[in-house]
Amino acid sequence: MNVRQVLEQLKEGKITQEEAVLLLKDMKESVVKTTQYNNGVVLVEMADVQNKNMFSKELITGLIRTFEEINQNDSCKVVILAGSRNYFACGGNEEGLLELYNGTAKMTDFGVYELPLKCRVPVIAAMNGHAIGGGWCLGMFCDFVLLGSECSYTCNHMRYGFTPGDGATFIFKEKMDINVAQEILYTGKTYKGFQLAEKGVSLTIVSKKEVLTEAKALADEIAQAPLKSLILLKEHMTQEIREKLDQVVEKEWENQKKTLSNNPIVLKNILGAFDAKEPISQLVPLNSVKKGKPIFWIHGDEGELDSLYSIAKELEYPVYGLRIVKYIEHEPRFTNIQILACDYVEQIKKKQSKGPYRLGGYSIGGLIAYEIVRQLQMQGEEVDTLLLIQAPNAEKIMESRKSDYDFLLQGVNRTLIGRNQENQNELSQVLIKPDEATGEDSESYLARLIEIGKERGLSLSISEGELWDMFWQRFQIKKHLFEMILKLLPLPHPNMVNCYYCTSSTEEYYGALESYFMRDTPIQLGLMDADKYWNELMDKVVTKEIAATNQFTAMYEPQFREQLIQYCSEVYNSQKKE
């Protein structure tokens, strides 16, 4: 029983108000609605209107649950599967496609497309709206298929750049002429129902407004037969398809692993197919140089470029930095390094459309820069230079985690160090010790850190409220950069990029400042074995070690910065100016 039915029974006096409240408690309106008629016909409507009946988890679970109930329903003889408004079904949503791309899910996990096939009674697809990708496949696996002449139909996997799945390579050949089926699958074109009729497709094609009427008329005829006979005939008529389907789908998935998983071109097509997103990153100039071949540097672990400005302004080439301007909760681009890098590649190409490219990254930005190299190489582009500054070992980053309190403490104290770069010997009088600040939760702890920091020169021009917003944003970015999947994939051409790895010579991570950066968790081991790590990923890695008191604050030490500027100049000046 759904919400509408509960309210109707309440209105008709069949249940009391108290009973209605109990029934409605914790009940969510399903995106799959069922209506059963007295003659054994059950109408199943996919009704996620807002999301155009894309295969969200809600729609998938709703369909699975509905067909399970139908298979247990001895009064159901035939099913009509229909869409709502202008859409029958639109296949995978962005979340689902990204899970396939990341390898965290595979096409065969749910098998939505085969629900009508495995239903014990006949299923009629009343495709009274547009059907896209897996949505069209779902309809084609029904026993009877009715299309709307004005509606659009496409099996668009190849338009994204990956091979078809959802049983498409099997069922389209079963239901259509082989030549038409191949055209549909190879081209990924969109067809109106009347265009398919002109091609002689042997499916019932009527006007959109007549689809459901025709489906109900057919269902009424079928429902006149005994249930047992319908079940036996359905089992017999679909036996050959069911026996072959599993093997076909496994082969489809093997092909999709080669064409879909971790393919940056496909990723770009997936992201581009959905509505425009709120920008999370921004490409900004780091110096005033206009002429020459540009250099692109990626932000540090808080998404900011603060420590890179002083380096870039001393170089003779235009340097641009990518920074994160906004953390957005549940944003897919913060879950996987490949997805985030795809966003950055697009911005870089707006500034420089063709290679060779010169890239760099600081801290975690070095990992992202490496992934950008990989994606550019897969697109056939050349990358001259990859400059990695204090770039960690990704495997060590994934092994170690900090508490929220440590992230906040480090963020405020590192800013205090930045404010006192010329007075390194007096840092002990400025930095905040963990036991100086208390708070019941992360928010109140940060407020106390800022209150103390203001007294020690954190900022004279920004209010505590503005500082809280700034540090909280940076904290969210850093936390999620550390939590996202940072596993790096091999370069297509590891011998075609010159990598310059610059790090501090000391093995001390926090050094004498350790007591100012740790409250709850062990020392971060991100730079351990980093040199070895990068040498395993690329063939041509030159390592430069520069003296510093510790690894964590090296970029704020004047001597380290001076030598880093000199080294960057040597690297870029060794290449031909353009």
Both 285 and 203 in one domain: the answer is no
Q: Give the whole-number percent of the chain exceeding pLDDT 70.
A: 86
Above 60 in pLDDT, residue 395?
Answer: yes
3-state secondary structure of 336: strand
Q: 160 with 37, same domain?
A: yes
The secondary structure of 367-415 as a DSSP string is HHHHHHHHHHHHTT--EEEEEEES---HHHHHH----HHHHHHHHHHHH
Question: What is the residue-averaged pLDDT of the chain?
Answer: 85
Specify the pLDDT at position 25. 45
Strand partners, 147: 127, 205
The per-residue pLDDT for 522 is 57
183 has a pLDDT exceeding 50: yes
CATH number assigned to the domain comprising residue 208: 3.90.226.10
CB atoms within 10 A of CB 536: 12
Question: Which two structure tokens, joined as six digits, stand for 563?
Answer: 């030598």
Give the Cα separation of 338 and 344 in Å (integer).
10
Distance (Å, whole) CA 151 – CA 82 = 13
Residues 327 and 367 reside in one and the same domain: yes
Residue 417 in any domain: the answer is no
Residue 197 C-alpha from the chain's centroid = 38
pLDDT in tens, 440-475: 788 888 999 999 999 888 876 778 888 898 899 889
Cβ atoms of 30 and 2 within 8 Å: the answer is: yes
Q: Which residues contact 479 (CB under 8 A, 6 or more apart)?
A: 404, 407
- Same structural domain, 15 and 69: no
Say if 64 falls within a structural domain: yes
Q: How many domains does the chain have?
A: 3
- Give me the half-sphere count of Cα atoms (radius 13 Å) on the Cβ side of residue 104: 9
CATH of the domain at 369: 3.40.50.1820
DSSP label at residue 83? -
pLDDT recorded at residue 462: 79
CB contact at 8 A, 203 and 168? no
Angle, CA of 163, 169 and 170, to the nearest 5°: 160
Residues 557 and 527 in one domain: yes
Q: Can you tell me whether residue 127 is helix, strand or coil?
A: strand
Choice among 74-78, 99-103, 186-190, 542-546 with the minimum mean pLDDT? 99-103
Could you tell me the residue range of the domain that residue 293 belongs to? 277-401+476-573
Q: Is residue 464 part of a domain?
A: no
pLDDT grade for 425, boundaries at 50, 70 and 90: low
Domain match, 92 and 234 both: yes
Examine residue 356 and say whether the peptide bond preceding it is cis (omega within 30 degrees of 0): yes
Is the pLDDT at 243 greater than 60? The verdict is yes
pLDDT beyond 70 at 139: yes
User: Does residue 79 belong to any structural domain of this protein?
Assistant: yes
Going by pLDDT thresholds of 50, 70 and 90, the confidence category of residue 21 is: very low
In a domain, 272, yes or no: no
> In this model, does residue 230 exceed pLDDT 90?
yes
Asked whether residue 78 falls in the same domain as residue 223, the answer is yes
Is 136's pLDDT higher than 60?
Answer: yes
Pairwise pLDDT comparison (498 vs 428), residue with the higher score? 498
Q: What mean pLDDT do residues 294-300 have?
A: 96
Rounded Cα gap, residues 78 and 365, in angstroms? 57
Domain-ending residue, one of 261, 287, 308: 261
Q: Stretch 41-45: mean pLDDT, rounded?
A: 96
Asked if residue 456 is part of any domain, the answer here is: no
Res. 238: pLDDT tops 90:
yes
Banded pLDDT at 116 (limits 50, 70, 90): very high
pLDDT digits (tens, 9 = 90+) for 304-344: 998 899 999 999 999 999 998 876 665 656 677 887 888 89
Say whether both 242 and 373 belong to one domain. Answer: no
Is residue 251 located within the same domain as residue 376?
Answer: no
Lowest mean per-residue pLDDT among 174-178, 478-482, 535-539: 478-482
Torsion, Cα of 331, 335, 341, 343 (10° steps):
-10
Q: Say if residue 105's pLDDT is above 60.
A: yes
- What is the pTM (predicted TM-score) of this model? 0.62
With respect to residue 377, please indicate whether it lies within any of the assigned structural domains: yes
Residue 213's Cβ-count burial label (10 Å; 0-12, 13-18, 19+) is middle
Q: Are 474 and 303 in contact (CB under 8 A)?
A: yes
The pLDDT value recorded for residue 27 is: 47
Average pLDDT on 184-195 reads 89
Of 213, 230, 261, at which residue does a domain stop?
261
Same domain, 164 and 287: no
261, 289, 313 - which closes a domain: 261
Tallying the residues shown for the chain, one arrives at 578
Domain shared by 368 and 486, yes or no: yes
**Nearest-CA neighbor of 391 among 567, 559, 554?**
554
Residue 578's pLDDT band, with cuts at 50, 70 and 90, is: very low
Q: Which residues are CB-neighbours of 132 under 8 A, at least 6 positions away?
A: 89, 90, 91, 152, 153, 154, 156
Question: Is residue 532 a part of any domain in this protein?
Answer: yes
Q: Are residues 517 and 564 in the same domain?
A: yes
Q: How far is CA 409 from CA 20, 71, 484, in A?
A: 52, 58, 21
pLDDT on residue 524: 53
**pLDDT higher than 80, residue 125:** yes
